[in-house]
A and B are shown apart, each in its own frame.
Chain A
Amino acid sequence: MCLGIPGQIVSVKDPIRHLAVVDVSGIQRDVNVACIVSDDRPIEKCIGDWVLVHVGFAMSRIDEDEAAETLKILEKLGEVEEELEAMRTTGT
């Protein structure tokens, strides 16, 4: 109920009721997208967007840049580790 699951908007179902079809790992279902549409991003423009779906509602658009940024930070932490490892093994 609280965890949510990522899915991709594939088509518009009922623009008045803010319903879109979202593909979640191959399963398609109607999802209410009222919380992620706006005047400058109407429902038709959301096709292709990745969203986090909770109990039949898209609650957040997944920010691809931020996702990449977080992964980059993680990678950097990994690099520091590699350097430290190199320092330890070479002893210099």
Chain B
Amino acid sequence: MKYVDEFRDPEMAKTLLKQIEALTLEIPKASKRPLQIMEVCGGHTHSIFKFGIETMLPDCIELVHGPGCPVCVLPMGRVDDCIAIAETPNMIFTTFGDAMRVPGSKKSLLQAKAEGCDIRMVYSPLDALELAKNNPDKEVSFFGLGFETTMPSTALTVLQAEADSVENFSLFCNHITIIPTIKAILDSPDLKLDGFLGPGHVSMVIGNSPYNFIANHYKRPLVVAGFEPLDVLQSIWMVLKQIKEGRHEIENQYNRIVPDDGNNIALQSIGKVFELREFFEWRGLGSIDHSGVKIRDEYAKFDSEKKFDLPSLKIADPKSCQCGEVLKGVIKPWECKVFGELCTPETPLGSLMVSSEGACAAYYQYGGALMEAKKAEAEKTAS
């Protein structure tokens, strides 16, 4: 496929790996402890596991899988709210497929569907709007999820609903914003991160300048990265080069997609429809100030939160879940007590096991060999 295959060349990957290894030899601190590089975005987590990138890297580089999977950080109370909407009489509840299996406090959307709720998976919020037009005697609610990457799509859908005077469509808005999240991670006291791979598709919307504080204030390098294997490897190489040269800058490896100043039309549509919430609750990370958006009052008639009666309860994660520690990079997924036994992709306890962009599901699916090797290593050092 054009613009995909070129960035998957295995020979080039080998070369890049050699260059990466050579660079690490020139970074003195890499010999004392592994250099920790966090990929913020779940899309990168997915690529890293799918292509086995973590297993190829030298031992002195540790990838920390960050909180950038919107499905994975969804708190249980929000899933319960979805189910409350779905159980409203005469309702068609629509969602991206990724969200179907996220556990709520009593059930997931998949279970609610099996029990008779009309819940449908759609590819695009526009498909949900189309459903509303075709079913004028029903209500249609769309479960809006994601960082700035998907925010323009739901904002534009709301604007289209208004232009077409569709009365029976609404959005249950659970969009989250990336910058306060990265800030919360950088402020965490147990932070050891040496650099970041920046989220390529969020950046295509917001541009590169919002990250400047990471370089200026926290003095860490960030390279906005693409998602193919060569993109990821080249970006790691660029982060290492900055570390070696004692620089901390915001660089863009993903020039073919990410313009430095983002996408103005997308940003305008976001600004028109959404405003910041004072705080938003994250699974595993607690509440983060200004980390979510809600629908502005002007568009209240398209807001599922205002249209329907929601429980909106705060529900604590099960005690055995260690999703928060995994998200912050404090423990590895396989170190969670319930990993692979009580918590599997078929019966997830924590949401990191749900989406293929979640660190636990990725380890479970692709990480077998790596996990075994690391477990053996940990046992060896313990004995």
Contact = CB atoms under 8 A, between A and B. Distances in A.
On chain B, which size bracket covers the interface? 35 or more
B149 A59 contact: yes
Contacts of B255: 63, 66, 69-70
A84 B146 CA distance: 45
Contacts of B11: 78
A43 to B, nearest CB: 13
B52 to A, nearest CB: 18
Interface residues of A, number: 38
B256 interface: yes
Contacts of B205: 59
Given A59-B205, A62-B3, A63-B257, A2 B16 contact: no
Interface stretch (B102-110, B123-131, B315-323): B123-131
Interface string A72-86: 011101101100000
Contact of A67 (B69, B145, B201, B256): B256
Interface string A28-57: 001010111110000000000010101111
A34 to B, nearest CB: 6
Interface stretch (B81-89, B150-158, B180-188, B277-285): B150-158
B257 A62 contact: yes
A56 B123 CA distance: 7
Nearest to A77: B19
Contact of A32 (B2, B15, B156): B156
Interface of B: 1-4, 6-7, 11-12, 15-16, 18-19, 41-43, 46, 68-71, 96, 98, 123-127, 145-147, 149-150, 152-153, 156, 160, 201, 204-205, 227, 230, 234, 237, 253, 255-259, 263, 265-266, 269, 357
